[in-house]
Amino acid sequence: MPRLDLPLRRDASGRFLPWIVALMVYLSALGGIGLLLLGDTLRDWTRSLGGSLTLQLPVDTTPARIEVVTAALRETPGVVSVHLLDADETARLIAPWLGGGVAVESLPLPRLVDIRINPDAGLDIAALEHRLASIVPAAELDDNRAGLARLRDFGMRLEGLIGAGVGLVAILLILTVTFTARTGLAIHQPVVEILHLLGAPDGYIARQFQAHALWLGLRGGVIGGIAAAITLAVVARAAVSVNIPLPADFHGLADWRLWAIVAGAALAAGIVAMITARLAISRRLARLL
């Protein structure tokens, strides 16, 4: 706790500032973690869907036609690999959508072919569809890249929304600290005038408010950071218990990026509070004198 010559710790307005900062740090930390997870998820989608196609063949397609189709795919420039899913793989793929009470193996499931392509090869999807339809008329070729583009667009919009929310929290923090600092200056204006008469410069007085705001901001940042860490631990444990899929680049509570976001939000709160108080008080002192 810094030593202050002005009795700023007695101000009622300053008593609520740490809790307001704590709430803002809590929201900012969770928003930052949300941006991290969303970014990792978008990268996962790009890796898994950006270079893949899925071919659906009717359930009654003969093995001979399936062999012709797979051979045609392997001969197509730009196709890296072709994998025909067996019945068990197909059943496991759709089981989560049907629930555990459905006998998946008894359903007339189509034959699925997983096709990996080189995204930079410029594969002509329309020509490939026409060629496959000439072999199996009811064949359906799904270009996962079209769905990926829609998912990426949705993800980017969501990232923008979260980023705007974090920015709004930062603006509210600046406004709150500015109001608190100016209120404190108004309360202690007689003492400030006496200090001026004794020769105290504006910089000395501004540093008093600056140190006080830094202390309050860091206190609130620590409280908000601890709350965010507790929330993160609870949510992570719940996600593990219900087997929620997580991005490949995300390492749970061991991921250092999570704690960097929490610590960074707490530290940023103190720095923003300090700078805001300094600027607000300096400007107000310049107007008073």
Maximum distance among all alpha carbons in the chain? 100
pLDDT tens for residues 238-283?
Answer: 776 766 666 656 666 777 888 899 999 999 999 999 999 888 888 8
Residue 35: predicted pLDDT: 86
Residue 139: predicted pLDDT: 85
pTM comes to 0.70
The domain spans of the chain are 8-46+152-288, 59-138
Residues 6+ apart with CB under 8 A from 88: none
User: At CA 266, angle to CA 176 and CA 36, rounded to 5?
Assistant: 110
Residue 266: predicted pLDDT: 92
Angle between helices 144-187 and 189-197 (to 10 degrees): 70
Residue 227: predicted pLDDT: 93
Q: Residues 13, 195: contact at Cβ < 8 Å? A: no
Residue 267: predicted pLDDT: 93
Q: Residues 152, 46: contact at Cβ < 8 Å? A: yes
Segments of the chain with pLDDT less than 70: 1-14, 47-50, 95-106, 144-146, 240, 242-252, 288-289
